[in-house]
Structure 1
């Protein structure tokens, strides 16, 4: 039986598509000699895989009460009926519409999380006789929302100023713990952020009685999976960056600048079956390893400014 070498090629090199577009490409075959097959099938799949956290529902419940996957795309196309592939190169072209035809009737953005994964892929199966092993190739592609235009005033409205001190930390607690005196002020430029742009801001250590060991910024995903028995909600770290290492000079403005990882973030998503949300933790670690944390709720969107739109057009 002759060897069959093949690959799935997409017309877009970056493999990024929007809902409503046509997914165009070809399956390229290279055969050193004529090869027989029992059919070539191309399948396009889009699935939301949900997994319950064992921390919330227990190991037994997480195993037996798994949440059913949500199918977004499931199209099958016969590229070639049973027959033979000629020696040399051959291509089978395809066009598939990127439309979700049943509930939820929307394509969510590609996302790789811990308990929620939104994946899109093409699978090409070359069926062969009983004595020859069938062949399969998989090609992943990404779905992204089309950017919405937002003006500078709307971005400015989501700016947050913050102040961290023993008084703000103990504001909502009954117990008062002996704590060194310190004051840290700053701001986040936006809490409604575009996923393709960095999180920015600044902070200043006004004064502190105890030396600071480091200041870190932590990006956290909060994934909620729904099911008949209830909800599983878990927060997990995506990435942490050092803003300052070692003791910080008082009154020195320190910039905040975090680039969001492409596949591990997406626009904030809330559906009846699951939620993908994000938070920021500002961690101040003192020399005695005492840690002070300030939490910020952030909303991610896929946006562009009017100036970006003018440049592109």
Structure 2
């Protein structure tokens, strides 16, 4: 026998206090008895230590235990029998935990922080039979960080990238010859909207190899390939990856913040000699500028 959960929404996305609806689909060659069919909603913030940050994070938080957000269980069907063949059992459960101060943080799959919501179904079979279970993840759009209205003309932040703004060492030809990249970018945007702006390479003594946008937690999107024309504005239009971003959160024991970094890579033989490792690592043939990025949710 097999058990499957099918949610009513194909995108599996819900907001607090909405009804989470779907079907429990069972397939069995023969009739089986059960002691009840239950569904459970679970939501938690999971702190995962990766790499060399283990000692630092553990020294702050001690034991890294999940932070519970949601725990709710209901009985869909009392004890009885399931007919042979395919059976569809509808369910509906309100997305809250019955408390007065429900706080739903938005779904986020990060490197060290993961905010996840799961729907579990259990067909209880009794002592002599193992319960049949299925799990599906659903996404939550939080209402904690909503702007009163969607901004019509978001405020742009202007930036400049020159040899004098770099805090790491550069190749001698870049340091002496100089370069200047200017532009503007929106540092507050909706999670569902693209990151927009523009930049212009005004001057460069060394040909440009590429221009990239890094979203930290690092997601790299190339916006120019090769030595671009100088004094020609290049548009910035980057769709934000849904599961890897969420509204900016400051919640006591954890926070989720973002930065956007503009990287200009210059053509040099060293580029092909030294392998790419961490894209955040300083390299002598790369110039960069980082800006804070605030993400919010729409109504």
Place the TM-score, normalised by the shorter chain, in its bin. Answer: 0.7 to 0.9
TM-score by length of 2: 0.83
* Partners of 2:206 and 2:178 in 1: CA distance: 8
> Residues 124 and 214 from structure 1, CA distance in 2 versus in 1: closer, same or farther, beyond 3 angstroms?
same
* Partners of 1:162 and 1:7 in 2: CA distance: 51
2:248 paired residue among 268, 276, 280: 268
> Residues 296 and 83 from structure 1, CA distance in 2 versus in 1: closer, same or farther, beyond 3 angstroms?
same
- Residue 291 in 1 paired to residue 277 in 2? no
Give how far 1:203 is off: 1.0
Check conservation: 1:211, 1:247, Cα contact below 8 A: yes
- Residue 26 in 1 paired to residue 6 in 2? no
User: Partner residue of 1:195?
Assistant: 191
For structure 1, list consecutive stretches of 5 or more residues without a partner in the other structure. 172-176, 222-236, 305-313
User: What do the CA deviations read for 1:218-268 (whole angstroms, capped 9, x no partner)?
Assistant: 1113xxxxxxxxxxxxxxx1x111121111221122111111001110111
1:6 paired residue among 3, 12, 27: 3
SS state at 1:58 partner: helix
How many residues are treated as equivalent by the alignment? 276
Trace 1:1-313 onto structure 2 (pairs within 5 A): 4-58=1-55, 61=58, 65-101=62-98, 105-146=102-143, 148-150=147-149, 152=151, 155-156=153-154, 158-169=155-166, 178-188=175-185, 190-221=186-217, 237=218, 239-288=219-268, 289=271, 290-303=285-298
Q: How big is the alpha-carbon RMSD for the aligned residues of Structure 1 and Structure 2? A: 2.7
> Residues 152 and 75 from structure 1, CA distance in 2 versus in 1: closer, same or farther, beyond 3 angstroms?
closer
* Partners of 1:284 and 1:265 in 2: CA distance: 24
> Residues 268 and 145 from structure 1, CA distance in 2 versus in 1: closer, same or farther, beyond 3 angstroms?
same
For structure 2, list consecutive stretches of 5 or more residues without a partner in the other structure. 169-173, 272-284
Segment drifting more, 252-261 vs 162-171: 162-171
> Residues 59 and 178 from structure 1, CA distance in 2 versus in 1: closer, same or farther, beyond 3 angstroms?
closer
User: Partner residue of 1:224?
Assistant: none
